[in-house]
Structure 1
Amino acid sequence: MLHFAQSSLFQTNYIVMSQAQTYTPGEFQWSFLHPKYWGIWLGIVFLMILAILPWAIQYRLATFLGNLAFNKLKSRRKTTLRNLEVCFPEWSPEQVQDNARQVFVDQMLGVFETLNAWYCPQWFKNRVTIEGLEHIQTAQAAGKGVLLLGTHSTLLDAGGYLCAQYFEPDVVYRPQNNPLLDMLIYRCRATIYANQIDHDDMRGLIRNLKNGHAIWYSPDQDFGLKQGVMAPFFGVPAATVTAHRRLLKISKAVAVPLYFYRHGDVANPKYHLLIEPMVDNLPSEDEVDDATRVNQIIERQLRIAPTQYMWFHRRFKTRPEGYEKIY
């Protein structure tokens, strides 16, 4: 069984529930019928309607909303433009501008693709292909757990659904602060993932790896140097997390790169899962070298479909003394 961990519908919107709050994930509570929740119920009905719209309409709406977000979310736009300038110096200013705008459109497309995965999964029929599944199967046949190295894709939970066409995925999730919203998302995800593991359940995560499961992990964001080291990312020093080294050491699992993306005519899109061979000698004795090699894997993945990545995150926000500020 493959266990696939993706963090959230919108990565930045997930907030950990208070430890004092008692709530069973996915459990309905009569309090959810209180008027204070009516707005969320109406919003869910609206999203379900959007999910049954033809793709041609969804695409037009996503394009409109993506352009609107690009124009209105000035801080996110500025971060996206700067990230693309730094990572793709070969692009002209016009290319940077056009691709930055497309990042926002692809993010909105990812929302509709996720709604389709939740409420209208038959839309993906005959649209998905896979390459390299044997790399996971071989590792698991040898009794090894698999840590899947990937990125924060704009496909969101649709990526999990793509994987579910070929294996039974699990997800590691962070509960939403609003219990009704958490219940609704949990139940939607239950149609995709075999199991959902709370992000605080590290023992469970390690236990699954030791038992030969495969778990998605995306070491592509800046969490500072307390959790990582400086390593080149697109040729620029960036704070790179190293937690995956500890997970691999403790569980004796192997690291396998995984990438999924949309391709072809956007009016009739196709989706591809690319699974690459196991990364040799990871972890090694050199954590900077390990971080560099993982960043190179992510770079290679992102060059396949550059705008299908959450470039609006401040990937280079950590700048130690002596390093030029990026933002």
Structure 2
Amino acid sequence: MSQKPDYQPGAFQWSFLLPQYWGIWIGIVFLMILALLPWALQYRLAVFLGETAFKHLKSRRKTAVRNLEVCFPEWSAAQVQDNTRQVFIDQMIGIFETLNAWYCPYWFKGRFSIEGLEHLQKAQAEGQGVLLLGTHSTLLDAGGYLCDQFFKLGVVYRPQNNPLLDMLIYRCRATIYEHQIDHDDMRGLIRQLKNGHAIWYSPDQDFGLKQGVMAPFFGVPAATVTAHRRLMKISKAAAVPLYFYRDGDLKDPRYHVRLEPALDHFPSEDEVADAIRINKIIENQLRIAPTQYMWFHRRFKTRPEGFDEIY
């Protein structure tokens, strides 16, 4: 579990040069080298790593299989297995795409487009901050980079336990995001929204009912966070659904950023109705590219009383 660091995010410490951190430095150099590889090699390596992860990460594979079984009951057992395998491959491809966004962003030139930018611009022109309601996509920070080509955005993040790793990721993300807000810094998040900024926030994971309510997700009861409702009530921000995905031939992919109209009458006085509404939006987005979502998270770990466990 991540925890809040006791140092300034992104700050270098001389202790990072101690032997205990050498392995991480070597790993970072290796990742930078991978980012310099031609896409044809990156893609092939990602497929190999994805297949390997699918084979050996049995717990994660089991979770992904169960998620896809309950969310896509129309799929056959063979389709579930094939799509689960692709989830792992897409995750590995997403890692290379993120490395490219951090170290070789020119690779994306001429490969991306955006739809619905006017919805964000309209809200900001009216003096509102914008909470970009997104998902945990396998594109990772590559999706943030794509957005940054059209508008400035911040992101809510969880600090890494390892301080050197946290510093390195923070600095890489600083080239993409205008602001990086600790998930515990609600005052900072509200301040940014009140100042008219756009912040990417993903309300698509199970944090239990202390932070949310039960609402159907793909027809299955799921603990759904409601913190964004309070944020919006205080900041008067607009809620604009955000989705980005990859399509086309994986040997020559294209990337798309999709912004939907700001939600009207949101939040309402009914937190369950709001949760149902958000989950439905996410469902519709995920159906565009189902395997580009992190299905290996236990989305349904919280179960209503009287319901069988899913995992």
| TM-score above 0.5, yes or no | yes
After superposition, the C-alpha distances for 1:200-241 in whole angstroms (9 at most, x for unaligned) are 221111011112211111111111111111111111111111
After superposition, the C-alpha distances for 1:256-294 in whole angstroms (9 at most, x for unaligned) are 111000011100001000000111111111111110010
The CA distance in 1 between the partners of 2:217 and 2:154, in whole Å, is: 29
Runs of 4+ aligned residues of structure 1 deviating over 6 Å after TM superposition are none
How do 1:171-210 residues align onto structure 2 when only pairs under 5 Å count? 171-210=155-194
SS in 2 for 1:307: helix
How do 1:133-172 residues align onto structure 2 when only pairs under 5 Å count? 133-172=117-156
* Structure 1 gap segments, 5+ residues each: 1-13
The CA distance in 2 between the partners of 1:185 and 1:148, in whole Å, is: 21
The CA distance in 1 between the partners of 2:310 and 2:136, in whole Å, is: 21
RMSD: 1.1
User: By how many angstroms is 1:169 displaced?
Assistant: 2.2
After superposition, the C-alpha distances for 1:115-149 in whole angstroms (9 at most, x for unaligned) are 00001000000011000000000011111111111
User: By how many angstroms is 1:325 displaced?
Assistant: 1.8
The CA distance in 1 between the partners of 2:8 and 2:208, in whole Å, is: 32
| Alignment match, 2:72 | 88
The CA distance in 1 between the partners of 2:244 and 2:135, in whole Å, is: 9
User: By how many angstroms is 1:193 displaced?
Assistant: 1.5
| Alignment match, 1:3 | none
Task: Supply the AA of the counterpart residue of 1:102.
Answer: Q
| Alignment match, 1:293 | 277
SS in 2 for 1:321: coil
Task: Supply the AA of the counterpart residue of 1:142.
Answer: E
How many percent identity over aligned positions?
79
SS in 2 for 1:259: strand
| Alignment match, 2:242 | 258
After superposition, the C-alpha distances for 1:280-314 in whole angstroms (9 at most, x for unaligned) are 11111111111001000000000000000000011
| Alignment match, 2:86 | 102
The CA distance in 2 between the partners of 1:34 and 1:208, in whole Å, is: 37
| Alignment match, 2:203 | 219
User: By how many angstroms is 1:174 displaced?
Assistant: 2.2
User: By how many angstroms is 1:177 displaced?
Assistant: 1.8
| Alignment match, 2:2 | 15
TM-score of the superposed pair, with normalisation by structure 2: 0.97
Q: Does the alignment pair 1:32 with 2:5?
A: no
Among 255, 261, 270, which residue is 1:271 paired with? 255
The CA distance in 1 between the partners of 2:160 and 2:27, in whole Å, is: 16
Q: Does the alignment pair 1:77 with 2:61?
A: yes
The CA distance in 1 between the partners of 2:55 and 2:37, in whole Å, is: 25
Q: Does the alignment pair 1:303 with 2:290?
A: no
| Residues 40 and 251 in structure 2, CA contact (< 8 A), matched pair in contact too | yes
The CA distance in 2 between the partners of 1:270 and 1:221, in whole Å, is: 27
Equivalences, count: 311
SS in 1 for 2:292: coil
| Residues 221 and 304 in structure 2, CA contact (< 8 A), matched pair in contact too | no
Task: Supply the AA of the counterpart residue of 1:16.
Answer: Q
Task: Supply the AA of the counterpart residue of 2:57.
Answer: L
| Residues 247 and 254 in structure 2, CA contact (< 8 A), matched pair in contact too | yes
Task: Supply the AA of the counterpart residue of 2:44.
Answer: R
